Structure 1
Amino acid sequence: MLDQRNGKPHERLAQLLAPEMDAVNALIRDRMASEHAPRIPEVTAYLVEAGGKRLRPLLTLAAAKLCGYDGPYHVHLASTVEFIHTATLLHDDVVDESLMRRGRKTANLLWDNKSSVLVGDYLFARSFQLMTETGNLRVLRILSNAAATIAEGEVLQLTAAQDLSTTEAIYLQVVRGKTAALFSAATQVGGVIADRPEPEVQALFDYGDALGIAFQIVDDLLDYWGGDATGKNIGDDFRERKLTLPLIKAHAKADAEERAFWTRVIEKSDQQEGDLDHALALLNKHGALEETRQEALAWAAKAKAAMQSLPQSELRDLLIDLNDYVVARVS
């Protein structure tokens, strides 16, 4: 269904929801202000100006509008989702000791780690203020559960990242935590705030969950299968010793010599010239990249099936196109 002649799906979605996104941006600017701590708007304004697709708030707005919601609170929920996402980025950059994000210096580099952590905490607090203003207890439960799941996933990733005993099931749990939890909450609350029947709310959750998993698997695959056109540098995850799905699959099929190689470069952090090329050769030898690609496509198919159970509309078709676009680079 993907048709790029009329622009990328997220761009078309942003155009269709432009008035609502303007309201979200205005609310974000209002709520990221601080009378007593000027460092907070300094850091948050820098992050907002960095741009990005604003995919998660767009998902909330689209889900609510798809469900016929005409009240004001989808704007609050979309802003909540963006605040949670931004807070996690601030914390992630500190944990990962990142220096660049989206081609710009990270906040922890420009200011310091303490500022990044505390401003992230402030945004989390603001997100809870926003979600309570809807007066909907189920919305509060969904988004607060998502925030807890994200934190849990990040902690799990700390322990699993360089542990070669990490299984595909643990990897999926990490992905559900750090990526899919906010996607599924973003879409689910759109149906809840519109007071739609439970099968529709569940379909929106299933769509967001599967979309988020496909999104992350594709991102991890492109680290070994990318290039200039993808905006990713081949091997960044390898150099950072991140145990993602392609490597988990290759390690599971490795012989004793190959396992010793993975132990040296991942667990012992002893990487030498030519190791990335050898890693890529092993990934291809065991079909790990192709298997990972097939898993991304399978999750994308689940997302499409969930969305097709909802009533036909332009927004529904755009969300299906968005799903196709996420996996288009590996299709």
Structure 2
Amino acid sequence: MDTSVANNPHDRLSLTLAEDLLAVNTLIRERMSSEHAPRIPEVTAHLVEAGGKRLRPMLTLATARLCGYEGPYHVHLAATVEFIHTATLLHDDVVDESRQRRGRPTANLLWDNKSSVLVGDYLFARSFQLMVETGSLRVLDILSNAAATIAEGEVLQLTAAQNLATDESIYLKVVRGKTAALFSAATEVGGVIAGAPEAQVKALFDYGDALGIAFQIADDLLDYSGDAKATGKNVGDDFRERKLTLPVIKAVAQATPEERKFWERTIEKGHQNEDDLETALTIMAKYGTLEATRADATAWADKARAALALVPADPIRDMLEDLLDYVVSRIS
């Protein structure tokens, strides 16, 4: 076995769940087909088969397996989670006017905005069909709430992203919406479909919630301190796109009047010069906001670890714990 595979917790989990993941991929391909609109599978396949990590559906498969589930519906739920995720990516790329995702041109660039929005809608509809097939009203409740929370988080981000009044509590609401809601739903439904005790279901929800928040904070930090080759993003992309993420929010909270004017010009008004990113990094270094953001990500990973301790010991539990180390190791 390739040692890089053996040492990466995501890949170890993928190997452990290989049979289930194959079933999920088969179901996804079946359900993204369309008799009347061939563009639907074209657009969907471009994103679904672009080499994404399938982390969210893996969380559903892993938690169902962890809780001893032996039925077929964890596959339906994992496919549901992936469809919801893919639908939101299609919509996000239109909203953000993105031109690249996972190192490839976005669907809205290759086709058009209308196709991306409508295919995203189709995938949401397909996801609800898959949920219903499980016969569990509770699962339907959890995943439909997550879909609503994701949309709510995206709308909140529209108003918060370039507003210097956005504080850490609003940032957390955005992150809970756009990222953590699907992580926590993915882990929670695994426990629910397995009929796990309520304390375990709650622990799995808490794990997914904290993992999702740690994951997003780490991503936001990597935008200012990551290796472009490793992350697939250029350092400072969020700054150039005027996104008010945690490292900047922490700097704005401590800004002198002169620094506040800088943030108003670059983030709120979008008037940026070539050397502004360097200035932004200098201000963040002055207040240690990158280190403070790293500490926040680590704290959320620790919360996820504490939640996982309430679930019975199992090799899959160990892999879910290792995922936390992996998220934090990206930023250490």
How many correspondences in the alignment?
329
Report the counterpart of residue 268 of structure 1 in structure 2.
269
Counterpart residue type for residue 113 of structure 1: N
Report the counterpart of residue 39 of structure 1 in structure 2.
39
Structure 2 CA distance for aligned equivalents of residues 78 and 329 of structure 1: 26
Report the counterpart of residue 247 of structure 2 in structure 1.
246
Report the counterpart of residue 309 of structure 1 in structure 2.
310
Report the counterpart of residue 194 of structure 2 in structure 1.
194
Q: TM-score, normalising length from structure 2?
A: 0.98
Structure 2 CA distance for aligned equivalents of residues 112 and 6 of structure 1: 40
Structure 2 CA distance for aligned equivalents of residues 56 and 281 of structure 1: 36
Please list the CA deviations of residues 48-88 of structure 1 after superposition, one character each: whole Å capped at 9, or x if unmatched.
Answer: 22011100000000000000000000000000000000000
Structure 2 CA distance for aligned equivalents of residues 44 and 275 of structure 1: 38
What's the CA shift for 1:6?
Answer: 2.1
Counterpart residue type for residue 72 of structure 1: P
What's the CA shift for 1:220?
Answer: 0.2
Structure 1 CA distance for aligned equivalents of residues 201 and 30 of structure 2: 30
- The alignment status of 1:160 with 2:157, answered yes or no, reads no
Counterpart residue type for residue 249 of structure 2: I
What's the CA shift for 1:4?
Answer: 6.5
Unaligned stretches of 5+ in structure 2? none
SS at match of 2:46: helix
Q: Structure 1 residues 5, 182: closer, same or farther in 2, change over 3 A? A: closer
SS at match of 2:163: coil
What's the CA shift for 1:227?
Answer: 1.8
Q: Give yes or no for contact 1:222–1:230 (8 Å, CA) kept in 2.
A: no
Q: Give yes or no for contact 2:228–2:235 (8 Å, CA) kept in 1.
A: no
Report the counterpart of residue 285 of structure 1 in structure 2.
286
Unaligned stretches of 5+ in structure 1? none
What's the CA shift for 1:5?
Answer: 7.8
Q: TM-score, normalising length from structure 1?
A: 0.98
What's the CA shift for 1:237?
Answer: 0.2
Structure 1 CA distance for aligned equivalents of residues 96 and 120 of structure 2: 15
Counterpart residue type for residue 289 of structure 2: A
Structure 2 CA distance for aligned equivalents of residues 46 and 228 of structure 1: 23
Report the counterpart of residue 55 of structure 2 in structure 1.
55
**Alignment RMSD (CA, Å):** 1.1
Structure 2 CA distance for aligned equivalents of residues 233 and 329 of structure 1: 16
What's the CA shift for 1:229?
Answer: 5.0
Please list the CA deviations of residues 95-114 of structure 1 after superposition, one character each: whole Å capped at 9, or x if unmatched.
Answer: 00000000000000000000
What's the CA shift for 1:10?
Answer: 0.8
Q: What are the equivalent positions in structure 2 for 1:1-331 lying under 5 Å apart?
A: 6-228=6-228, 230-231=230-231, 232-331=233-332
